[in-house]
Structure 1
């Protein structure tokens, strides 16, 4: 089988950097996420990944982020074995294969049509799994998803790329469609958004971020049914001891400075 030639730009191109980061982690002597499927998928894509600005340190950060959100997602699915999963802006993430939920869980991977077509060529089919090719903020796609079960909504590396009004409308529409559920995602503060000019993979892709979230109150104000269960600084998650001495020192310093400590936050919102 010949490799897939992939050329993406702007925010769509960041999914290649994310895949590359997870593959680098999987091939490291002491992997954090250990996503072997990401490494195997990388080998099937023809692209100059070396020019993406991903370093061993940033790949470890990508792996830590994915592992943290995986654990929140797995906890919800353990408690709700008949849930519906909306994996928004899924890119080339292998989360459905990593978590491997039972057939009683309906899983939908949602991303732009060209990304979904690429997924279909790269990844195997599985039961109780479907893809939807659309912009996540074109809310008509929600009508294609049954609304008779609790929903788990996973949005890794997505919200800051959305227009704020479109992002709020998306969260509001999901809350109003499903009987109950949980959002798990990462977000950046307005200051964190400005710091992304130092993020080499983002800059190499030519991507632009739009939505900076200034704490839980901004999110719960979107809909009265939203409750914030967790707001965890990216510098407080477990696993930083697995990073290099330099990255551990930077994370330690950042965790002690309030303005920097809240630049990147993992949220868990119940509805």
Structure 2
């Protein structure tokens, strides 16, 4: 564990480069603006010779739907929205997309209670909901 903001410049050097690399940035990137995301991805792909990175993205419908509640309850603000997950491919030319998955189509949905599975199935039929949160996996 490293106590640091991902925007700080010196934390990355505390991690060995000669190991297989899997970066998981769940619930993180949406709190950065697009330039900060781009810079972080650049630093990660320049530092590690190769690896994979998994992260989630939210579309503007999801962010706008919950922004007041989020601000009230945590004081946090989502800054980065991704309405077309293919636009993420343009942020770093070293990244090669392996997968893009709507959270409503996760392989673990079948483990949820029946009411939740039915709700997810219904929400998936509506475009704004279908793409509100996606999991992306890239190789570099």
TM over 0.5: yes
- Partners of 1:165 and 1:216 lie apart in 2 by 16
Q: Deviations over 1:110-145 (max 9, x none)?
A: xxxxxxxxxxxxxxxxxxxxx211111113211222
One of 229, 233, 238 as aligned partner of 2:98? 229
Partner of 2:84: 215
SS in 1 for 2:5: coil
Q: Which protein is bigger by CA-based radius of gyration?
A: 1
Partner of 2:57: 187
Q: Deviations over 1:177-223 (max 9, x none)?
A: 1111100111111222112247x677422321111123332222111
Aligned length: 140
RMSD: 2.0
For structure 2, the residue ranges without an aligned partner over 5 or more in a row are none
**TM-score normalised by the chain length of structure 1:** 0.47
Partner of 1:102: none
For structure 1, the residue ranges without an aligned partner over 5 or more in a row are 1-130
SS in 2 for 1:140: coil
1:174 aligns with 2:44: yes
Task: Return the structure number with greater relative CO, CA threshold 8 A, min gap 6.
Answer: 2
Do 2:67 and 2:78's aligned partners in 1 also have CA atoms closer than 8 Å? no
Following superposition, the deviation at residue 245 of structure 1 comes to 4.0
Cα 1:190–1:139, aligned 2, differ >3 Å: closer, same or farther? farther
SS in 2 for 1:267: strand
Do 1:151 and 1:181's aligned partners in 2 also have CA atoms closer than 8 Å? yes
Do 1:152 and 1:182's aligned partners in 2 also have CA atoms closer than 8 Å? yes
Partner of 1:41: none
**TM-score normalised by the chain length of structure 2:** 0.87
